[in-house]
Amino acid sequence: MTKSHANAPVDRRSLRTRTALRDALLELIADRGWDEIAVQDVCERANIGRSTFYLHYPNKDALLQGGLEDLQAELQRQTSARSDNASPSAGALEGFHFALGLIEHVYEHRKVLRGMIGRRSGHVVQQRFREMVIRLITDELPVSTGNVPRGAVARWLAGAFVELLSWWIDQRTQLPPKELAVLFNELSRSALEQRRVSS
């Protein structure tokens, strides 16, 4: 018990440091684009020394990946809760439960995440984000996807989701997050049902 008390402040301090670094990275992506960012830039924006940075991450790629993994874990927790609480009357939200949580997260942080999803983010950031969406979709995808490989379906749906999200952000549409989630689930359900019928 003494050991856990001793470690608690260190863990909280480490969490604050990681959060500050990830927030700084997102802000810089929005301001400059991925390719123009160096570790020193992140440290200066977060007001954290380079030696402290390297205690947590070997490079900016690992920092980006760590942030996305944390986001994915949180969305999976939300997905589990939504799945447990889902009712037959949930309507069009029945489908990919991660969608609403991710869309709400993007909306809440739209000023910085616009840079992450948009053109300035660069290929690396867009690819990492898309890979996270593929994993989230794969977790919820039906075991059987007809005569089309499951991995292909997951990638196709992820591409559709990211493009829909990009459109929503770029157009600054007034469509609420819940309605966008409904739209994605309606479109994806239609596509999946067509695959079942055709197979």
Q: Does the pLDDT at position 6 exceed 50?
A: no
Task: Quickly state the pLDDT bin for 198 (edges 50, 70, 90).
Answer: very low
Q: What is the pLDDT of residues 80-105, one digit of tens each?
A: 876 666 554 444 446 899 999 999 99
The answer to whether the beta carbons of residues 65 and 146 sit under 8 Å apart is no
Rounded mean pLDDT, 11-23: 92
User: Which pair of structure tokens corresponds to residue 89?
Assistant: 């009357």
Domain segments of the chain as ranges: 60-198
Predicted TM-score (pTM) of this structure? 0.81
Rounded mean pLDDT, 141-146: 78
Task: Quickly state the pLDDT bin for 197 (edges 50, 70, 90).
Answer: very low
User: Which of 42-46, 64-68, 79-83, 176-180 is predicted least confidently?
Assistant: 79-83
Rounded mean pLDDT, 20-47: 93
CATH code of the region 60-198? 1.10.357
Q: What is the pLDDT of residues 152-191, one digit of tens each?
A: 999 999 999 999 998 898 777 789 999 999 999 999 988 8
Q: Is residue 126 classed exposed, middle or buried when 0-12, 13-18 and 19+ CB atoms within 10 A define those classes? A: middle
User: Which pair of structure tokens corresponds to residue 53?
Assistant: 């940075």
Task: Say what the pLDDT of residue 111 is.
Answer: 73
Q: What is the pLDDT of residues 93-137, one digit of tens each?
A: 468 999 999 999 988 887 777 766 665 567 888 899 999 999 999
Q: pLDDT averaged over the chain?
A: 84
